Homo-oligomer: A and B are copies of this chain.
Amino acid sequence: MSLKIDAAELTRFLAKVFPQVAHDFKLLNLAENYLEVVLLIKEKHLRPGGTVSGPSMFALADVSAYLNVLSMIGPQALAVTTNCGIDFMRKPKANRNLICKSSILKLGRALAVTECQIFSEGELEPVARANLTYSLPPAHI
């Protein structure tokens, strides 16, 4: 399968569908089954101890993997997160944006399985890893 939509269209889609949070995210690289998304860290993403909150990292993983899947099946489709597993491994720096690199491992008839790693900008070791599964609409193939 090939991309159904390019990064500019995907960015417009994000702005339309998630107007409350779209300006927190920036799309970096889009390829078949692969997407990098930046979370622009603001005060609301932080938690005491000078780090980024768990829910902010979960949101980044979910937005990244979701847009990645939609880029492959088309943005009109309705994908729904059914399962997520996430390991928080290192404390993200509070003053750095986070980058999420997501890959689609399986794009099936009914389910898409994805995997992500999240990095503090400029660091080599991931702060978190996640796997997310999406339920896909029957019509997507």
Residues of A within 8 A of B (CB): 17-18, 20, 43-44, 47-48, 54-55, 58-59, 62, 80-90, 105-106, 108, 110-111, 113, 115, 117, 125-126, 129, 131, 133, 135
Contacts and interface: CB of A to CB of B under 8 A. Distances in A.
Within the oligomer, what is the number of copies of this chain? 4
B62 A131 contact: no
A89 B131 CA distance: 12
Contacts of A47: 18
Centre residue among A18, A82, A129 by max chain B CB count within 10 A: A82
Contacts of A18: 47-48
Contacts of A125: 106
Nearest to A106: B89
A90 B62 contact: no
Nearest to A115: B129
A83 B83 contact: yes
Nearest to A60: B55
